Amino acid sequence: MRNRGFEKYEEKEIKRRWAKAQKRKIKDANALRRLQVLHLRVKGKSNAEISEIVGFSKQYIIEVVAKYRNKGMDAILEDKRTGNNRKLSFDEEAAFLDQFYDLAEAGQLVTIHTIMKKFEELTGEPCADTTIYRMLKRHGWRKVSPRPAHPGKASDEEIEASKKILKKSSDNSYWKKTDETNEIKAKNSVE
């Protein structure tokens, strides 16, 4: 069976790289799997068969082959994708947050939106509020919530006494209003 579109020199390169991979010369597991896709393709396997063996989707197999044809073997072996897309290093973030630390210590309110505005000015790109929340968490900042009770709150006895006074006065006025409205309704129904 033919190699499904690879040239002779491409077949040789893929086989040579696959032989190196078998000797543990390639350390990156994802690069090894992408190389395995090419090797299986040279052997004449279909996308569905390769998908079963390697675990990639059929569409990604097509993309790997196209990437190899357009950009060469280096694009397959050195495709480094990382989750660290930070704009600043850890030390730069710490220096950036120092300006807000002084404000927080002085008792001023520091909000995410003020930090985000300064961060966007520094990086020159828009960012999401989750970026700022994660940065604050990395540096040990915490969200300060308001107190659960007012510091000048009355004692429980004073609160209960005021409730009793309010209940007595409100009971009288409530029943008067209800009686008056019933009388008005009765007069209106008679007429």
pLDDT at 86: 75
Same domain, 71 and 94: no
On whether residue 2 sits in a domain, the answer given is no
The range of the structural domain enclosing residue 94 comes to 90-138
pLDDT at 184: 60
Same domain, 12 and 54: yes
pLDDT at 4: 55
On whether residue 181 sits in a domain, the answer given is no
Concatenating the DSSP letter of every residue in 117-186 gives HHHHHHHSS---HHHHHHHHHHTT--PPPPPSS-TTPPPHHHHHHHHHHHHHHHHHHHHHHHHHHHHHHH
CB 37 within 8 Å of CB 61: yes
On whether residue 25 sits in a domain, the answer given is yes
Same domain, 32 and 57: yes
pLDDT at 104: 79
Same domain, 61 and 96: no
How many structural domains is the chain composed of?
Answer: 2
pLDDT in tens, the chain (191 residues): 444 577 777 777 887 777 777 777 667 778 888 888 888 888 888 889 999 998 889 999 999 888 888 888 888 877 666 566 678 888 999 999 998 888 877 777 788 889 999 999 998 888 888 888 889 888 888 877 666 666 677 788 888 887 777 665 544 444 444 455 556 666 666 66
On whether residue 95 sits in a domain, the answer given is yes
On whether residue 98 sits in a domain, the answer given is yes
pLDDT at 1: 40
Same domain, 52 and 101: no
**Pick from 38, 56, 77: which residue ends a domain?**
77
Same domain, 40 and 70: yes
This prediction has a pTM of 0.41
